[in-house]
């Protein structure tokens, strides 16, 4: 949160990096006007959206100044912002930022985690939202 108002954005690249210490990374455009505001905050909330949260994703990815208008959210400890209904929340601290062409890679240390393991994540691929399908496979090759 920045002056009591939620600040956030959608990121298209999110990766698990390490278990010890618990680290994840996100990629952000260097032209982002939101990232400089977020990087200065003591805690960052990372919400993994679930199926059916397409509208929330579009709002957070938009260019509007108030991306959280109409988005149900809550503040965590030290101001981290979390989207209600998300399947996972990561409460993070920025540990490093690396230049990567027209993007920056932000390395985030996870302090706390909340997850709904049976829920399906929102997937955006090929310019549209999709559903992941699981296939049961035998451990023994056919």
Print pLDDT tens along the chain (142 aa): 667 789 888 887 889 999 999 999 999 999 998 999 999 999 999 999 888 888 888 888 888 778 888 899 999 878 899 999 999 999 999 999 999 999 999 999 999 999 987 777 777 767 777 776 766 666 666 5
Radius of gyration of the chain, Cα coordinates, nearest whole angstrom: 16
Amino acid 101: pLDDT: 94
Name the class of domain 14-130.
Answer: mainly beta
Amino acid 53: pLDDT: 87
Q: At 6, phi and psi to the nearest 5? A: -70, 140
Amino acid 93: pLDDT: 96
Amino acid 55: pLDDT: 87
Contact 49, 9 (CB under 8 A): no
Contact 86, 49 (CB under 8 A): yes
Amino acid 142: pLDDT: 57
DSSP state of 79: G
Amino acid 123: pLDDT: 72
**20 Cβ contact list (under 8 Å, min separation 6):** none
State the Cα–Cα distance between residues 73 and 88, nearest whole angstrom.
13
């Amino acid at each position: 949160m920045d002056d009591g108002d939620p600040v956030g954005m959608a990121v298209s690249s999110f990766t698990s990096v390490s278990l010890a210490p618990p680290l994840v990374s996100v990629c952000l455009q260097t032209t982002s006007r939101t990232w400089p505001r977020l990087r200065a905050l003591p805690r960052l909330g990372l919400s993994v959206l679930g199926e059916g949260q397409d509208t929330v994703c579009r709002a957070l990815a938009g260019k509007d100044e108030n991306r959280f208008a109409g988005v149900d959210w809550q503040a965590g400890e030290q101001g981290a912002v979390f989207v209600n209904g998300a399947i996972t929340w990561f409460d993070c601290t920025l540990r490093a930022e690396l230049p990567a062409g027209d993007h920056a890679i932000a390395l985030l240390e996870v302090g706390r985690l909340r997850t709904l393991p049976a829920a399906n994540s929102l997937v955006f691929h090929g310019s549209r939202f999709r559903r992941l399908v699981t296939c049961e496979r035998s451990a023994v090759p056919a």
